[in-house]
Amino acid sequence: MATYRLIPAILAAFLLANSYANERPNVLLIAIDDLNDWIGCMDGHPQSLTPNIDKLASRGTLFTNAHCQAPICGPSRASLLSGRYPHETGVYNQPKSGNALSNDSVLFHGQLLPQYFAHNGYSTYGVGKITHGYEQEAVFQFAGSRGNSGPKPEGPKAPNDVRFHYRPNYDLPYTGTQTDWGTFPDRNDQMPDHQTASWIIPHLEKWHDKPFFMAVGFHRPHVPFYAPQEWFDMHPIENVIVPEIPEDDFLDIPEIGRLIHELPRYPKIDWLRANNEEQLRLCVQAYLACTTFVDAQVGRVLDALDRSPHADNTIIILFSDHGYHLGEKERVSKQGLWEESTKVPFIVATPNGRGSEKRHQPVGLIDIYPTLVDMCGLPKRPQNAGHSLVPLIENSGVTWRHSIITTYAMNNHALRSDRFRYIRYEDGSEELYDHFRDSNEWTNLANNSEYARELDAFRQGLPKDNAPYHPIVGSRPINPWFAEHYERLRVDNR
């Protein structure tokens, strides 16, 4: 008898819980690897061709002054997934293999972004490059099998590793992963990013009993700059415009600035610029081709969402983990504290948003976590160091931060305000650039007394404490070459 009375109560509770869950919006997080502002809506290069990302910007809010917190894959993702700055966690460097950020109970409380959503009733899915080796399978409920406390949904597992395992040999004079570009492979479906999109699309299209958090991570335009021929054909080599590179740009940069940014495994500028900039032109073409290719994969995923039952109840955030130099500051690489390395595409599109909005305040990838917690109505998480972007998106006249910080190795920081970039290295030397007059950051104003007030404001904004290197990344500097040369610099300066 008691059972009869209980059944309606259980049913009511179940329905209430379900309707409550379904009122929460879904999340589609799209991570792109090493994409700078060479997308149409950011106008970073006159020949960029990214119709799908531009379309997303036209239905959401584009943050035009958004920056990563670390200009290198692993630490950038560790920061945005943990909601903490590198100077708080000590994750300044790539993780040593086999180390799991998600298992650090002291710093991260098992609460990386997808885990927090899982704890709060969401199904979580992850495919492609999201965590950069921080044991992705342990972070998502569905991407893999380990660390999965909840029930396992049906369907195929996400591919564990969707990077290229074969590389054509273009015989470039530089070795390692930072070098190659060209037309490869033959077909789009041989591209790992194509496979990534193909994996997530059926999950987007089907019905879900619970709200979902899906993270899709694309590898292009990370090196090697490979894409099939058709994407190169959209950027004919004879028309490709390469960035302007002044010969004397490094003369006003402190020695540690040149040193800490020196990366031995990346192509050298003299070689790139020889023969009417032959290699640099090929390299820029390949980057543009990869950007257009990855944009098409973004389009496939967004089209699937539009066709699905979730089109009107899904928040979309698209970002890149950091930027990239294509010749500026004499480099084809990331790992810099200058604008090309730190500035990222960052678009937030909500189901009922007005669209084609732009915000120019300094924001960071650190703001993703608190923004999603806010938008989805999850309990506030005090450990989040960033801010919810909802007041900016709604234009509610909020007082915003003065500048956003990017950190490269321990105690080297860049601060970007609405107008200036300030850089301070571990030895105390500085750079200052005025973006109203010098958007290329060619003229260092740090020794110009007219800017004393600005310099002082930035110095006040530097972190008071810099965490030691976290054990998962070790205490080694960025590379052995740097260690050797840094020692020489230290001795010379005595």
Q: Please indicate whether residue 73 is annotated as part of the active site.
A: yes
Beta bridge partners of 134: none
User: How far apart, in whole angstroms, are the C-alpha atoms of residue 441 and residue 237?
Assistant: 27
Residue 365 contacts Ca ion per CB under 5 A: no
Residue 73 contacts Ca ion per CB under 5 A: yes
Residue 438 contacts Ca ion per CB under 5 A: no
Least distance in Å: CB of 324 to Ca ion? Answer: 8
Residue 434 contacts Ca ion per CB under 5 A: no
Of the listed 41, 45, 68, 73, which one is catalytic? 73
Residue nearer to Ca ion on the CB measure, 204 or 404:
404
Least distance in Å: CB of 205 to Ca ion? Answer: 29
Residue nearer to Ca ion on the CB measure, 322 or 359:
322
Least distance in Å: CB of 79 to Ca ion? Answer: 12
Q: Please indicate whether residue 435 is annotated as part of the active site.
A: no
Instruction: Please pick, from the candidates 24, 26, 28, 33, the single residue that binds Ca ion as defined by CB under 5 A.
Output: 33
Residue 430 contacts Ca ion per CB under 5 A: no
Residue 330 contacts Ca ion per CB under 5 A: no
How many other C-beta atoms can be found within 10 angstroms of the C-beta atom of residue 2? 6
Interacting span for Ca ion (CB under 5 A) from 69-77, 81-89, 268-276, 350-358:
69-77
Whether 232 contacts 289, CB under 8 Å:
yes
Instruction: Please pick, from the candidates 252, 262, 303, 430, the single residue that binds Ca ion as defined by CB under 5 A.
Output: 252
Residue list 366-405, contact with Ca ion (CB under 5 A) = none
- Residues touching Ca ion, count (CB under 5 A): 7
Residue list 257-276, contact with Ca ion (CB under 5 A) = none
Interacting span for Ca ion (CB under 5 A) from 56-64, 195-203, 246-254, 390-398:
246-254
Residue nearer to Ca ion on the CB measure, 286 or 373:
286
Residue 193 contacts Ca ion per CB under 5 A: no
Instruction: Please pick, from the candidates 321, 328, 340, 367, the single residue that binds Ca ion as defined by CB under 5 A.
Output: 321
Least distance in Å: CB of 438 to Ca ion? Answer: 9
Q: Where does this chain bind Ca ion (CB under 5 A)? A: 33-34, 73, 249, 252, 321, 442
Positions marked catalytic: 73, 132
